[in-house]
Structures are given as C-alpha cells and as structure tokens.
Homo-oligomer: A and B are copies of this chain.
C-alpha cells in the first residue's frame, strides 16, 4: 500500500515531445513526430516517443485516432469529452460535441443491460479546401 510518490520525472525528451504536440495543428503519427524532432536537432529515440505518447494518452492529455490500415495518430485536444470531424485528405480536424449522442449511447446500452458504457465516434469527410 502507501501511496509512495508516483515518481514521474521531468526529462528533456518528454518536454520536447509535449512541446511539439502543442504546436501541431492536426493529428500526427509517432514516427512523424520523431522525424520532426530529429529535424530540429532534438535528440530523442523513437522508442521514447512511442512511450511518451502512450503515457500522455493514458493520462488523457492527448487523443489517439486509429485510421484503418495506418499508424496511430496523436493530437493535443481540449479538455472534456468530444469527438472529431476529420478531413480524409489533409487531416484537418474540428472538435465537435454532441450531448444528444452521448445520452443516446448511454440509453441504448442501458436498455440492453450493458454496464460501464463507453463509445468511440469519428466523422470523416473532405474539408472545403480539399474539396476544391
């Protein structure tokens, strides 16, 4: 027992990954982010990028998207529960909230006796710029 300090340490690598995520506009893969860091001269290993992203995702600080047949994509998002409207071509992303959908999902699950309900929802489309 005993809480015993979580002992999470501040490292140059973690700061670099976190900072980069703060500047990025849309979703990016671990390998993309790693390449960007190296281009800036930051010396960070790919393994560490993967680990850091996973930790941030577990902590709820970033969102993960798993597109069909591709790498996992990460993005720093606003707090609170929301979903994404993503451009298939360029990745441009809009955060959307749908209270009605949330309650609908919970209600449907409850009607069937399911507990501990969660859900995933993504909307895909072609953004105005890419449609042109």
A118 touches B124 (CB 8 A): yes
Stretch at the interface among A4-12, A13-21, A43-51, A100-108: A100-108
Interface size on A, residues (CB 8 A): 32
Is residue A80 contacting chain B, with contact meaning CB distance below 8 A? Answer: no
Q: Are B116 and A119 in contact, with the CB atoms below 8 A?
A: no
Number of this chain's copies in the assembly equals 2
What residue in chain B is nearest A116 (Cβ atoms)? B126
A87-131 at interface with B (beta carbon < 8 Å): 87-88, 94, 96, 98, 100-101, 104-105, 108-109, 112-128, 131
Give the residue name and chain of the B residue nearest to A68 (CB).
B66
14 contacts between A and B (CB under 8 A): A66-B66, A85-B112, A85-B114, A88-B116, A98-B104, A101-B101, A109-B123, A112-B127, A114-B123, A115-B126, A116-B125, A117-B125, A120-B120, A121-B121
